[in-house]
Amino acid sequence: MTSKVKNLEALAKARELSHVPWCEEYEKMISGMLYNSFASDLESARFKARAWAHTYNNYFPPEETNPDFNSLAKERATMLKKILGKVDDTVFIEPPFAIDYGCNISLGKRFYSNFNLTILDCSIVTIGDRCMFGPNVSIFAATHEVDVASRRGDVEFGKPVTIGNDCWVGGHVVILPGVTIGEGCTIGASSVVTHDVPSWSVAIGAPAKVVKKVTPVP
């Protein structure tokens, strides 16, 4: 279901993020309302994100600088700060990394992602501290109506995705719009997460279902 009014809580969260392309359609987008995805401000923001991703995904320090893994990690962290809404110095994302806007992504401390992370951040995507992603994880905060007419008109909407602290998301996992995964969860490889997962759970399958609980850690 789409929202009919602006989400004041989502707007307040967005004000704490960097690089936000503030405009009427952006406010509708992160509020879960139908919006025009080809509004000029949004188009420009997506173009900027793609240009950034091209640089990030193809960059490697020249040999004459005597690079090592630690220096590369610092350079990548600096690059991430130029596009993501909120990111800590301890975040490490292996390229390639694909985003829609970047500004709607908030990453906690010691977040790590293996190769080929895709985040379609047409709504706010919040990931907690100490989370680990396997390769080829996809987070979709963008969606469309099943009504064909609105899709023909380039109208879409988004739903936020939230992942708590200390989560491990296996390779090839797909997380759909509107999902909240609680803290301390493990999502098995190749799962499709269509509904919320309670904290301290192991969920697997397509659609993902909770198969066991784990001991909470203070």
CA distance 140 to 95: 18
Strands (E), 44-179: 92-93, 97-99, 105-107, 112-113, 117-120, 125-127, 132-133, 138-140, 142-143, 155-158, 161-163, 168-169, 174-175
Annotated active-site residue 144? The verdict is yes
> What pLDDT is stored for residue 218 in this prediction?
86
pLDDT per position in the chain (218 positions), as tens?
Answer: 899 999 999 999 999 999 999 999 999 999 999 999 999 999 999 999 999 999 999 999 888 888 899 999 999 999 999 999 999 999 999 999 999 999 999 999 999 999 999 999 999 999 999 999 999 999 999 999 888 988 888 889 999 999 999 999 999 999 999 999 999 999 999 999 999 999 999 999 999 999 999 999 98
Which tokens go with 121?
A: 């951040």
Domain ranges within the chain, ordered by starting residue? 8-213
Active-site choice (19, 54, 144, 172):
144
Cα–Cα distances in angstroms (integers) from residue 10 to residues 27, 86, 140, 175, 183, in the given order? 9, 15, 17, 20, 21
CA distance 84 to 92: 13
Assign domain 8-213 to its CATH superfamily.
Hexapeptide repeat proteins (2.160.10.10)
> What pLDDT is stored for residue 124 in this prediction?
98
Beta bridge partners of 105: 125
> What pLDDT is stored for residue 4 in this prediction?
95
Q: What is the DSSP string of 157-171?
A: EE--EEE-TT-EE-T
> What pLDDT is stored for residue 147 in this prediction?
86
> What pLDDT is stored for residue 65 in this prediction?
86
